[in-house]
Amino acid sequence: MSATPEIQAEKLTFRRYKEGETKVKRWQEQIFQASYSYKCPTYIQSTPPCQGSCPSGEDIRGYLNIVRGIEKPPVGADGKPTMTWQEYAWRRLTEANPLPAVMGRVCPAPCETGCNRNEVEDHVGINSVEHYLGDWANKNGLKFKAPETKTGKKVAIIGGGPAGLSAAYQLTMKGHSCTIFDEHEFLGGMMRYGIPGYRTPRDTLDAEIQRILDLGVEVHLKTRVGTHVSMEQLRESFDAIFLGLGAQAGRALPIPGDAEANSAPNVVTATSFLRAFNDGRLKTVGKRVVVVGGGDTSMDVATVARRLGHIEKVNPTDFEAAIAGHLAQDVADISLRQGADVTLTSVYMTASKPEIEHAQAEGIAIMGGWMPIGVVKGADGRATALRVMQCEAKMVSGRLDIKKIEGTEKELPADLIVSAIGQAVDFTGIEEFDSGKGLVAADKNYQVAGKEGVFAGGDVIRPHLLTTAVGHGAIAADGIDRFLAGQEMVRRPKIDVHAFDLMRKYVEKGVQLGEIHAPLHGTDKAKEVVHNYDNRSDRYVIPHDQLFLGHFQYTERNKRHITHLNKDSALGNFEERLDALTEAEVIAEAKRCMSCGQCFECDNCVVYCPQTAVYKVKKNESMTGRYVATDYDKCIGCHICADVCPTGYIQMGLGE
């Protein structure tokens, strides 16, 4: 085994001049003159790209600020903190995602791909902080706090995967009673039956699921809706229904003109293979295994993250390929560990470079650019080989264009052939929800079209990441809550995340704003309002070019240790490969966060203001997000405070 190799990152410098420039630029020319300036600083809260890139909408900036010590846990009547910083950060994190220990291990971390710190040296290890907090909560037996009052409303949840568990958690926290129906022996969905235990340790998964059930969620296992229970029965017994059944049916080998290609008993889908393995039913795979599949359906997440954060420079995440849906790689890994010779063939490889290199290091043969054209069978009806043909494939206007190369046909001997080309939804017994495209059609509140009181989320809407399913469950829970209250569905915000709430900080601090009597526009004296502050988190992701990047020194990322295996050490090894950071490393990593779009109390604006117009708020009134303010009688609109604000929290806009 070997440890993760050290990679020497390039140290950046923020030079004022570029090569070839000959003219001196004076900063004074950029500063507004008091004689005609009308702009004064406002404090604008924006969404950081990490949160904007997170499919489950976690308040990432919020819990990183807690870990680094900027935001403190609430203080009790005795003047002491009511909880540790770890618990406070975990509770902030789990407002959006109740499964941090699992997601910290398997999520490909689009939040890190979108992180503005990529433009300095390397992204913040958000995934590793989540990993640490989830494990800390499990080790210390933390529990969710159930609401004291119940609404009396009942919700049926079909499917106990990440979407169903997320919906059950959010709805229970809103006071509703939830019952999960799942056809499997255990809850977890793709987290349990689609990902091997060395990616998601079962004790970790069980602990996080049990914490949700401890809120009072009722469960019916080995119960398939449409077979054991009808939709009519659910409609009669429950006030609302959530469809979170996932996409756990595999897709057969795409071999046109050969209807019998998939009939052999040793030609199976990846989902069937992984389910048998995780159930303990798979004892042997044979000597030669051929896996057909090129990677994951969710690799476009990085592109989305870069668009959100305007990131031009992207660094690889710790374990970017360890995600639900990466069926081909998981099948190949398991087969290899059982001593088989494994060949992974694909028309178009979408797996990440690190995962391909990892597979090759373990002895898996990678054949990119080969398509299946037939299955060779023996007299007993079992497959003996997969016929393949070389091809050229490229993306054209978002679709895969495949050209066969005649004369390149050959056979790959196989004792087992696994189709890992994607997943499908099994609508048996509930065909009424099939949109005709093998998925469920839902609106932006995830309410199923034409089905009052029925909502959906996760892979039944669009196969994607586990964390995407968690986010779907939370958004659907909001919609169900409004439906049960008899309220109209609201338009979801452009940026749907759990954001920092300054008003909540006022309540925690015990500061009462009271009734508003003074004009709001431009006030800096009235005690009953929060002056020169605006929350734009629901519509604005702050890009890196709005930050003062020169404030941040080069600081290398604290990376989790990953155990790499070779062909010999991989055999029979099903131990976890990803180690958590230590407490000191987690704190150091959180301190690398640039707190994009929110003050992190650096004092730059106070120090550099030439008019002493920017000042610190009194200690008894100061709180997170309300650390400094502006005296507009002194402000001349020079915008130096905005220039030196590292986070982009100060923007020149008052007076427009």
Contact call for residues 309 and 114 (beta carbons, < 8 A): yes
What does the pLDDT average to over 132-146?
A: 97
Query: How far is it, in rounded angstroms, from Cα 512 to Cα 158?
Result: 44
CB-based contacts of 600, cutoff 8 Å, min separation 6: 65, 70, 593, 594, 646, 647
The confidence band for 1, taking pLDDT boundaries of 50, 70 and 90, is very low
What does the pLDDT average to over 298-318?
A: 52
Query: How far is it, in rounded angstroms, from Cα 405 to Cα 110?
Result: 37
Residue 22: CB atoms within 10 A of its CB come to 5
Please say if the pLDDT value at position 651 is more than 70. yes
Of 281-295, 419-433, 530-544, the least confident = 281-295
Query: How far is it, in rounded angstroms, from Cα 141 to Cα 139?
Result: 6
According to the 3-state scheme, what is the secondary structure of 213-246? HCCCCEEECCCCECCCECHHHHHHHCCEEEECCC
**pLDDT at site 306:** 35
The CA radius of gyration of the chain, in Å to the nearest whole number, is 27
Query: How far is it, in rounded angstroms, from Cα 521 to Cα 492?
Result: 27
Please say if the pLDDT value at position 362 is more than 80. no
Question: What angle do helix axes 126-139 and 583-590 make, rounded to 10 degrees?
Answer: 140
CB-based contacts of 174, cutoff 8 Å, min separation 6: 147, 151, 477, 481
Contact call for residues 596 and 116 (beta carbons, < 8 A): yes
**pLDDT at site 303:** 35
The three-class DSSP label of residue 436 is coil
Give the mean pLDDT of the chain.
Answer: 83
Maximum distance among all Cα pairs of the chain, rounded to whole angstroms: 94
The larger pLDDT score, comparing residue 47 to residue 347, is at 47
Nearest residue to 157 (alpha-carbon basis) of 217, 97, 98: 217
Please say if the pLDDT value at position 494 is more than 60. yes
Please say if the pLDDT value at position 321 is more than 60. no
Q: What is the dihedral of CA 161, 162, 167, 168, to 10 degrees?
A: 60
Residue 121: CB atoms within 10 A of its CB come to 19
Query: How far is it, in rounded angstroms, from Cα 245 to Cα 249?
Result: 11
**pLDDT at site 341:** 81
Where do the H-state alpha helices sit in 338-413?
Answer: 353-361
What does the pLDDT average to over 604-626?
A: 90
**pLDDT at site 300:** 33
What does the pLDDT average to over 16-21?
A: 63
The confidence band for 243, taking pLDDT boundaries of 50, 70 and 90, is very high
Q: What are the b/e assignments for 507-526, b being 16+ CB within 10 Å?
A: eebebeeeeeeeeeeebbee
What does the pLDDT average to over 61-67?
A: 96
Residue type at 259?
A: A
What does the pLDDT average to over 600-625?
A: 90
Q: What is the dihedral of CA 56, 61, 65, 71, to 10 degrees?
A: -80
Please say if the pLDDT value at position 564 is more than 80. no
Please say if the pLDDT value at position 587 is more than 90. yes
**pLDDT at site 288:** 84
Please say if the pLDDT value at position 551 is more than 60. yes
Please say if the pLDDT value at position 472 is more than 90. yes
The larger pLDDT score, comparing residue 576 to residue 441, is at 441
> What is the tens place of the pLDDT at every residue in 221-235?
999 999 999 999 999
What does the pLDDT average to over 388-398?
A: 82
The confidence band for 102, taking pLDDT boundaries of 50, 70 and 90, is very high
The token pair that represents 289 in the structure block: 């295994």
What does the pLDDT average to over 270-295?
A: 75
Q: Where do the domains of the chain lie, and which CATH numbers do they carry?
A: 253-424 (3.50.50.60)
What does the pLDDT average to over 382-392?
A: 90
What does the pLDDT average to over 117-121?
A: 92
Query: How far is it, in rounded angstroms, from Cα 464 to Cα 482?
Result: 26
Please say if the pLDDT value at position 390 is more than 50. yes
The confidence band for 533, taking pLDDT boundaries of 50, 70 and 90, is confident
The confidence band for 462, taking pLDDT boundaries of 50, 70 and 90, is confident
Query: How far is it, in rounded angstroms, from Cα 351 to Cα 131?
Result: 23
**pLDDT at site 76:** 85
Please say if the pLDDT value at position 399 is more than 80. no
Query: How far is it, in rounded angstroms, from Cα 298 to Cα 120?
Result: 27
Please say if the pLDDT value at position 526 is more than 80. no
Query: How far is it, in rounded angstroms, from Cα 518 to Cα 526?
Result: 7
Residue 609: CB atoms within 10 A of its CB come to 22
**Cα separations in angstroms, 452 against 4, 170, 471, 478:** 52, 20, 21, 15
Please say if the pLDDT value at position 5 is more than 90. no
**pLDDT at site 566:** 64
Query: How far is it, in rounded angstroms, from Cα 38 to Cα 34?
Result: 8
Query: How far is it, in rounded angstroms, from Cα 166 to Cα 211?
Result: 12
Residue type at 1?
A: M
The token pair that represents 628 in the structure block: 């400094």
Q: Number of C-alpha atoms within 13 angstroms, CB side, residue 557?
A: 27
Residue 228: CB atoms within 10 A of its CB come to 13
Query: How far is it, in rounded angstroms, from Cα 25 to Cα 97?
Result: 48
**pLDDT at site 6:** 45
**pLDDT at site 30:** 56
What does the pLDDT average to over 520-536?
A: 71
**pLDDT at site 428:** 87
Of 33-42, 294-303, 582-591, the least confident = 294-303
Please say if the pLDDT value at position 17 is more than 60. no
The token pair that represents 517 in the structure block: 């009597």
CB-based contacts of 372, cutoff 8 Å, min separation 6: 253, 254, 255, 292, 345, 386, 387, 388
Query: How far is it, in rounded angstroms, from Cα 459 to Cα 465?
Result: 8
> What is the tens place of the pLDDT at every residue in 300-309?
333 334 334 5
The residue length of the chain stands at 656
Please say if the pLDDT value at position 299 is more than 50. no
